[in-house]
Structure 1
Amino acid sequence: MLFHVQMEVRLPHDMPAAQADDIKTREKAVAQEYQRQGKWPHLWRVAGRYANISIIDVADIDELHALLSSLPLFPYMDIRVTPLARHPSAI
């Protein structure tokens, strides 16, 4: 199943820089592994915001939740999910 996922990150302003850097490093590693596995085929940054728009390709909503909740930045994210279906006019 394909899902359109919007993620906005909101780290606490008082989070120590070293802690934020560690979380971001771990986040990058996890996200890139999901991309290598083909589960996260599209990842775009939203210009001017600490946010992204992604297409996630997983078996079902339970796998999507497991993937998203495994992200190190998950506790600091506002996430919006839209399930996608093939459009009848798509080639």
Structure 2
Amino acid sequence: MLFHVRMDVNIPLDMPADVANEIKAREKAYSQDLQRSGKWRHIWRLVGEYANYSVFDVESNAELHEILSGLPLFPYMKISVTPLCRHPSSIRDDDI
């Protein structure tokens, strides 16, 4: 199942820099592991925002929820999820 996910990050301004940097380092490692596994297929930064658009390829809504809630930055995010399906006019064979 493919999902389009928008993540807006709002780290509190009063969070100590060393704490924020540690959380961001864990976030990067977690997301890169998911990308290597094929679960997190795409990630794009939104210009001028602390936000991204991502595409996830997971088995279920529950798996996506587990992945998203496991993000170290999850407590500081607003997340919007849109389910996707292959468009009949797509020429890409890997758009499943």
Runs of 5+ consecutive residues of structure 2 not aligned to the other structure: 92-96
1:49 partner SS: coil
- What TM-score do the two structures reach when normalised by structure 2? 0.93
1:32 partner SS: helix
2:43 partner SS: strand
CA distance in 1: counterparts of 2:89 and 2:35, whole angstroms? 28
Equivalent positions of 1:1-80 (< 5 A) are 1-80=1-80
- Percent identity between matched residues is 63
Give the paired residue count: 91
Code of the aligned partner of 1:32: Q
For the aligned residue pairs, the C-alpha RMSD in angstroms reads: 0.5
Code of the aligned partner of 1:10: N
1:41 partner SS: strand
Using the TM superposition, give the Cα deviation of residue 29 of structure 1 relative to its aligned residue in structure 2, in angstroms: 0.3
Using the TM superposition, give the Cα deviation of residue 90 of structure 1 relative to its aligned residue in structure 2, in angstroms: 1.4
Moved segments of 4+, more than 3 Å: none
CA distance in 2: counterparts of 1:62 and 1:13, whole angstroms? 32
Runs of 5+ consecutive residues of structure 1 not aligned to the other structure: none
